Structure 1
Amino acid sequence: MNIKKIVSIGAVVIVSILIVYGFVLISQIFSDNTKFAEKELYVYVPTGSDYEQVKKIIAPYVKNMDRFEMVAGKTSYPENVKSGRFLFKKGMSSYDLVRTMKVNDPVSLAFNNQERLENFAGRVGSQIEPDSLELLNTFKDSIFLKENGFTEENVLVMFIPNTYDIYWNTSAEKFRDKMIKEYRNFWNKERTAKAVAQGLTSIQATVLASIVHKESVKKDERPRIAGVYLNRMGLGMPLQADPTVIFAMKKKSNDFNQVIKRVFYNDLIMKHPYNTYVNIGLPPGPIAMPDITALEAVLNPEKHNYIYFCASVDRFGYHEFAATLPEHNVNAKKYSDWIIGQGVQR
């Protein structure tokens, strides 16, 4: 066998080996490297994590870590670890896994109907990396409150209920900064002018909206209820809003889990800053987080001469309105008789 033939055979062998090696390598890079039953799941990498910590986090979901590490090393991932939330899908290859670990997947953070700042911090803390205490301390930061004209009692007005796309590893400070930006965007010149037209600041409008929100779940009725309260304020009357009394009772007992269906005379005369039966004007802060329909109801109230209302026994969820006390007393007695007939206690 001559030299040329030997070289040719050697070349063929080498090429064959390289082809086989390439095939094996490609197979390792692009074949399924997951080991979880779900179709997809999220993996969370805390802020400050290094490559070794990432490997421990993803180990339960990766079939062959050597394959993952090979691809990670070739793409400089160990030196460029990112924190955040990452979507793993069943059947992903090592290449897919490394690639997805470089793309932080945002959270659709949603919140509404929170009664207190503490509840709100807990709600948000369950959806992003900072815990509720860290968030709460950030919201209550004295410098931030002073710079933005808030107090600990009313800072809840800053948070406009909605769904926001935000990264899981957003810091408490950056989350707060995003919320104050959203607050300012909501309170544009047009809405601010509407609040002023009702004799209110944006904070006062939100506090009143929280009462309107608690008074009725019927969104189409909220502008009428807002009109009643604005009429009372215009006459110098106390707001006499039962939801503020209920809030005061919960705040006084520090028990916001209790369900209070009725308020009695002794509750109405209770001395408390949030009791609008004994105090003229708005309470020190919101009694809940009003949704946008309640805010818009205050900014665009129905114009009428009603100053009284009570729950309707004929239209569940709605109210009966009156311009005079005798008319209201008829409606109130009808409702009281119905409540007694239902056997509703506290």
Structure 2
Amino acid sequence: MDNGSKKDLMFEKMIEKKKEVKIVRRIVFVIALVILIGGLIGGRAIYKYISESLQPADPEAEEIIEIEIPIGSGLTSISKMLEDEGIIKDARIFKYYAKFNNESQFQAGSYGLTKAMTLDELIQSLKTGKVYRTPVFTMTVPEGLTLDQIAKVVEKRIGIKEQEFLDYVNSEETIEGLMSRYPTILSDEILSEDVKYPLEGYLFPATYPFFEEKPSLEMVVTTMLDATATNLTPYISYLENNEKSVHWLLTFASLLEREATATTDRQTIASIFYNRLKIDMALQTDPTVLYALGEHKDRVLYSDLEVQDPYNTYVNTGLPPGPIANAGRSSIEAVIDPSTTDYLYFLAGYDGENHYAKTYDEHLANRAKYRP
């Protein structure tokens, strides 16, 4: 092949290569254009969907829809309930709208709502607790109460005798029926030989509305268990994924409820208990001693720490057999989401604060300083 032919061949290859480059560039351009247009269309579609979801579900609707918000319901469950009833278009949009406006504390009760209500009107109604039915009376069960103490509240507020209440919640027939009714929260663990009272820690702390002058024992107890089930539902998947039980959660949370005050203290103390459990170190928490003794004391004596009882976490490692009181949501959440620390000790000082330590020597120094 002469030099001229070689040049012609090289020239033809160059032309072909340029054509291929142009084709590739066109393909890339077309793809980019399609993505851009798709993004614009998708963005407009999303914007339209959100805008429509912020509007009333049916501006012309007049029908009143009765909806019951259970005690202890969170924003997520309320949003889902409103969507299921067709009162709002999208539960997620309502949830984020409420959070954006710092509105998430809604009142339990029965409401008469319509599909014509705006999101702001719904939020205002749920926030102020303008219920469709007015309760005859309410009963407040504070956090950190034992079953005995709850029985006293029931007698004072409802008139059901303390012993009658305790007999009911501890009877085998009652427990068997309740376990069938609440299989998600009541397991065989409450029947353990070492558990003092099967329902200890399972009656949720809240303010309960009653719509009858004299509610039955069954109604009182199931109302509280309904609240427990509602408040524990968000954590069931976490427990299953971590091979933990509701009984474990409520037992752990009850210790925090009796030990801590502020939310941050609960999270930190939870981390301390976790750290001790990992190394098989006794939890050594005074409220379990008092529960074992069955009495309240302003100060636990050294002799008390030696009481031989399954609930005494000074002589036994691990969690006690069951809850020692009813725990509120902040204590439950602290178990689920504790702080990350290296602490192994904490001390409640006379200054009203908790003081933490990584070593026993640091703990002794805190004791000398804050509880001389």
Q: TM-score, normalised by structure 1?
A: 0.59
Q: 2:290, 2:148 → 1: CA distance?
A: 18
Match of 1:318 in 2: 353
SS at match of 2:250: helix
Q: 1:154, 1:234 → 2: CA distance?
A: 27
Q: Specify which of 181, 205, 224 is matched with residue 179 of structure 1.
A: 224
Q: CA distance change for structure 1 residues 318 and 271 in 2, over 3 Å: closer, same or farther?
A: same
Contact 1:228 1:308 in 2 (8 A): yes
Q: Specify which of 312, 321, 329 is matched with residue 364 of structure 2.
A: 329
Q: 2:162, 2:219 → 1: CA distance?
A: 15
Match of 1:14 in 2: none
Deviation track 1:200-240 (CA, whole Å, cap 9, x = no partner) reads 42222212222112212223311111111111112211111
Q: 2:342, 2:354 → 1: CA distance?
A: 15
SS at match of 1:156: coil
SS at match of 1:294: helix
Contact 1:110 1:164 in 2 (8 A): yes
Which residues in structure 2 correspond to 1:72-151 (within 5 Å)? 105-113=135-143, 115-146=145-176, 147=179, 148-149=186-187, 150-151=190-191
Q: Which runs of 5+ in 2 are unaligned?
A: 1-132, 180-185
Q: TM-score, normalised by structure 2?
A: 0.55
The count of aligned residue pairs is: 225
Q: Specify which of 204, 210, 224 is matched with residue 248 of structure 2.
A: 204
Deviation track 1:139-190 (CA, whole Å, cap 9, x = no partner) reads 11213324233345241222110111113321101222222222211111x3
Q: 2:265, 2:331 → 1: CA distance?
A: 10
Contact 2:147 2:201 in 1 (8 A): no
SS at match of 2:149: helix
Q: CA distance change for structure 1 residues 234 and 198 in 2, over 3 Å: closer, same or farther?
A: farther
Contact 1:216 1:318 in 2 (8 A): no
Q: Specify which of 275, 288, 297 is matched with residue 231 of structure 1.
A: 275
Match of 1:169 in 2: 214
Q: 2:277, 2:243 → 1: CA distance?
A: 10
> Identity rate of aligned residues, in percent?
28
Q: 1:197, 1:318 → 2: CA distance?
A: 35
Match of 1:26 in 2: none
Cα offset for 1:302? Answer: 0.8
| AA matched with 1:319 | N
Q: 1:334, 1:270 → 2: CA distance?
A: 28
SS at match of 2:347: strand
Q: 1:300, 1:236 → 2: CA distance?
A: 21
Q: 2:309, 2:197 → 1: CA distance?
A: 14
| AA matched with 1:275 | N
Q: CA distance change for structure 1 residues 198 and 268 in 2, over 3 Å: closer, same or farther?
A: farther
Q: CA distance change for structure 1 residues 219 and 198 in 2, over 3 Å: closer, same or farther?
A: farther
Cα offset for 1:131? Answer: 2.8
Q: 2:321, 2:141 → 1: CA distance?
A: 22
Q: Specify which of 319, 325, 333 is matched with residue 282 of structure 1.
A: 319
Deviates more, 1:139-148 or 1:220-229: 139-148
Q: CA distance change for structure 1 residues 270 and 133 in 2, over 3 Å: closer, same or farther?
A: closer
Runs of 4+ in 1 over 4 A off after TM superposition: 195-199
Cα offset for 1:104? Answer: 8.4
SS at match of 2:139: strand
| AA matched with 2:204 | I
Deviation track 1:280-336 (CA, whole Å, cap 9, x = no partner) reads 1122232222222222211221112211111245xx222121222232232233234
Contact 1:213 1:290 in 2 (8 A): yes
Q: 1:199, 1:224 → 2: CA distance?
A: 23
Q: 2:238, 2:271 → 1: CA distance?
A: 14
| AA matched with 1:174 | M
Match of 1:29 in 2: none
Q: 2:241, 2:362 → 1: CA distance?
A: 30
Contact 2:285 2:313 in 1 (8 A): yes
Contact 1:246 1:260 in 2 (8 A): no
Q: Specify which of 299, 304, 311 is matched with residue 267 of structure 1.
A: 304
Q: Does 1:159 align with 2:203?
A: yes
Q: Which runs of 5+ in 1 are unaligned?
A: 1-102, 339-346
Match of 2:43 in 1: none
Cα offset for 1:199? Answer: 6.0
Q: Specify which of 323, 334, 343 is matched with residue 306 of structure 1.
A: 343
SS at match of 1:187: helix
Contact 2:275 2:344 in 1 (8 A): yes
Q: CA distance change for structure 1 residues 114 and 327 in 2, over 3 Å: closer, same or farther?
A: closer
Q: 2:251, 2:341 → 1: CA distance?
A: 21
| AA matched with 1:242 | D
Cα offset for 1:243? Answer: 1.9
SS at match of 1:158: coil
Which residues in structure 2 correspond to 1:19-98 (within 5 Å)? none
